[in-house]
Structure 1
Amino acid sequence: MSETPAQPVIEATPALAIDGFWLYLLFALLATAGFFYINIMAAIVDGLITGLDFSNAQAGMVGSANIYGASVGALCAVFVVRRVEWRPALVILFSLLMAIDLASTVIRDPTVLIAVRAVHGLIGGLSVGIAYSVMARLNSPDRAFGVLLVLQFGLGGLGVMYLPLLVPLYGAQILFFVLATLTAIALVSMLAIPKRLCKNRSRAELEAIPASYRKLTVILSLLALFLFQAGNMALAAFIIRLGEHAHLTRDFIGQALGWATWIGAAGAGLVIFMGTRFGRLRPLIAAFLLTFAGTAGFFWSESQPIFMVANVGTAITWSFVVPYLFGMISRLDPTGRLAALGGFVSKCGLASGPLVAGLLLGEDNFDLLIWVAMAALALSSLAAFAAARQVDQLEPAT
């Protein structure tokens, strides 16, 4: 009888003394500063419509330009992360981001704003890619990206709850002032990060995995990430408009989105707590089932309880699934370049969602938008399950 060849195993690298939650939190802030506009995209789209009289399509294009620019920046990061020192690079990039955000406060023309936000996205995407490449080399990338999602959802909850109420009072300019302020805080926070961070995981880990096996897993993970982000952001970018279309009040919508975002951070909190002790496949199956149920709930948005529950459910799974997908990608590359590539793919998905949604909506055809979002999530789940099964075979639960 012939024995079944043993699967290659990715051994964990011991953590350095400084590799812990507080370090994850600091890097989460750096990564968040580069694309916080994504977390408050619903507030930005709505603010441009109500504050500057942009159309649905124009507001969607501004958001998409910002995220597509970030996608190009994230792609550039793949090629530069090993050639630049991350600290001085982020200082320069953050300074440019603040300048562009402040300049955006005086722009009223949709075409000009689209171009300016595309440049902003390019710079922000590059900064996020650099931050991701370092986070991927930490001892537990799943937990590191989990902390990132907790921070983003926590701050995003504040944004979507209060910014729509402030726009009628202070105009759309308040949106860009908030972005500039967060970037300034991130810039200062770099002073608290020690110079000696972490060592790259051993290249022996990578060489232990067959190249063909690794490539297939990465492709599946990236495909799942793209579709998951696109499907979720397609609805999220226009969720305020969906609520108003269902005759919900603006105050209730803001409160519902804010609380859902904060509660949704519990998904990333579960990732921080669980790590990979249960593998990745079983948690992802449970998360996608909740995603489907929550997304389907938006068909009945005229019901306040259902609208609230649907937002809570999808927020929890959003913050839960993304760290696992980034963790899978990071575990297959000791250099951090694949994490930067994951940032590029993620932003492409986030940009594609609002763009497609704006084109599909037409005369507020939200039912069609929900069906398309569910189809994207279904395809994402198939790719995610296949990739998670392979990574679970390659890496023992820890």
Structure 2
Amino acid sequence: MNPSEPLATHVLDEGRVMPPNQLTMGAVTLIYALSVVLLGLSPIMAGLYADELKLSISEVGWILSIEQAGSVVGALFAFWATPRVRWKSLLIGASVAALLANALTGFMTGFASLAAMRLISGFASNTITLVASCLLARASQPDRAFGAGLLAACVITGLGVWLLNTSRAIWGYQITIGSGALLFVASLLLTLALSRRLGGPGDAGPGLDAQTGVRGAANATSALAGLAGLVLFGISLNIVWGFLERLGLEHGLSNDEVAWALGIGLLGSGLGALAPALIGDAGNRVRMLSITTLLLFVSLGLTWWSSGVMMFTLAVSILAGAWNMGLAYYMAQTSTNDVSGRYTRAIYIAIAASQSIGPGLAAVILDHASLTSVLAVSPLPALLALALVVAVGWRQGKTGRA
């Protein structure tokens, strides 16, 4: 290793890749966190679109879905590009594109132009997320690495909710919506500090053995179950997430109370990220996913019956905490059973697909039913995700496979 090379990832040969050093992992954790913050801010942004641009709630649902469709395309592009293009170059290009798209979003006044900017933002931000997740998967304990990234995202998102609400009152809509660009200014600066040897042509980001750094044994069925679980679990959360602000208003809360509840709730949801960050897979991944699914049901019930700001805050906190736990464990389920890196690179294709499908399903539901009806539909895909992982684990246990 060359200790003078800043934030380097050291590739020893084709079959042996050393995990990134601690400085690299710290920087990548923050880059990952910054790239996913806008998803957490989507309820506030959805409310701003509806209030300032006079869009219907169904149109806002389609805007959210279009943005996540861009994320799907970004994930597909990054899946193709990561073995072919230097990862630092990908991160720089995507950060610049996301920065510009978010800065220009505040100047868009119609549905079509707004959708175009959010499409570009989704594309660029998820390119960043996928590259960063490939690096987090190289950690000796991916459960903990993903948990740490999600915990950092919780803190930034919680602060971001309050800042958006304050900015709206002081500086108005354009600056508030465009402030998302600051996330990608920070991402760009962190990326510039990384080594050019971060990863690139021929480097798909394989899973690593915690002790030796050698690629581990494959279990394609478990990896695919993790990816399918990501899609289904993500659909559950995204059916309802973008409409939390509207649900709070329907329960009689003011805009300030909803912003306070979302901010506190998102900070509190960091407890969900702490579980994988501290426990890793020592608590049994299937057991932790079962707890996660139960928490999802609890949060949706609290949202349904919330009668004040405290209950709504608790509902948001448990819902976002369940998302963090489920995301970390389903991602680790995939990456720890992956040899080639192909399934790991597909993680954010799966997540982006769920983030696009979820709001789209909600928009279809809202064309024919009330807003609270999304709460009844939301938990069903998560139940199917858990059943799939349990079934795969049971079958492999019976056949004696790892």
TM-score norm. by structure 2 comes to 0.85
Name the Cα RMSD after superposition: 2.8
Going from structure 1 to structure 2, the CA distance change for 1:195 and 1:96 (only over 3 Å counts) comes to closer
Structure 1 moving runs of 4+ over 4 Å: 13-18, 194-200, 202-206, 387-395
Contact in 1 for aligned 2:35/2:183 (Cα 8 Å): no
2:19 and 2:232 map into 1 onto residues whose CA distance is 37
1:224 equivalent in alignment to 2:225: no
Give the distance between the partners of 1:219 and 1:336, measured in 2 at CA: 12
Paired position in structure 2 for 1:29: 30
Q: Which runs of 5+ in 1 are unaligned?
A: 1-12
Deviation at 1:193, TM superposition (A): 3.5
Matching residue within 258, 262, 265 for 1:253: 258
* Structure 2 partner of 1:333: 338
Mapped pair 1:316 → 2:325? no
The separation in 2 between residues aligned to 1:314 and 1:14, in whole angstroms, is: 39
What is the aligned length?
377
Match of 2:306 in 1: 301
- Decide whether aligned partners of structure 1 residues 236 and 205 sit closer, same or farther in structure 2, where only a CA change above 3 A counts: same
- Cα deviation, residue 113, structure 1: 1.3
Which residue of 2 is the match for residue 289 of structure 1? 294
Amino acid at match of 2:312: F
Q: Which residue matches 1:75? A: 76
Q: Could you tell me how far 1:276 is from its partner in structure 2?
A: 1.6
Fraction of identical pairs, as percent? 23
SS of the aligned residue for 2:291 comes to helix
Change (3 A) 1:291 1:388: farther
Bigger shift: 191-200 or 131-140?
191-200
Could you tell me which amino acid in structure 1 is paired with residue 27 of structure 2? L
Q: Which amino acid aligns with 1:267?
A: G
Instruction: Quote the residue 2:105 is aligned against.
Output: 104
CA distance in 1: counterparts of 2:264 and 2:392, whole angstroms: 32
Structure 2 CA distance for partners of 1:231 and 1:257, relative to 1, 3 Å = same
Equivalent residue in structure 1 for 2:353, among 314, 338, 348: 348
Q: CA deviation at 1:176?
A: 3.8
2:179 corresponds to which residue?
178
Deviates more, 1:357-366 or 1:106-115: 357-366
d(CA) in 1 for partners of 2:45, 2:395: 39
The residue number in structure 2 matching 1:92 is 93
Q: Which moved more, 1:380-389 or 1:346-355?
A: 380-389
Alignment of 1:1-398 (within 5 A): 19-20=21-22, 22-194=23-195, 200=206, 201=208, 205-206=215-216, 208-209=217-218, 214-362=219-367, 365-387=370-392
- Give the TM-score of the pair, scaled to structure 1: 0.86
2: CA distance, partners of 1:394 / 1:179: 46
Question: In structure 2, how many angstroms separate the alpha carbons of the residues matched to 1:307 and 1:391?
Answer: 41
Question: Would the alpha carbon gap of residues 389 and 323 (structure 1) be closer, same or farther in structure 2, given more than 3 Å must change?
Answer: farther
* Amino acid across the alignment from 2:180: L
> Which runs of 5 or more structure 2 residues have no equivalent in the other structure?
1-14, 200-204
User: Shift of the alpha carbon at 1:372?
Assistant: 0.4
Cα distance in structure 2, aligned partners of 1:81 and 1:125: 13
1:65 Cα deviation after fit = 1.0
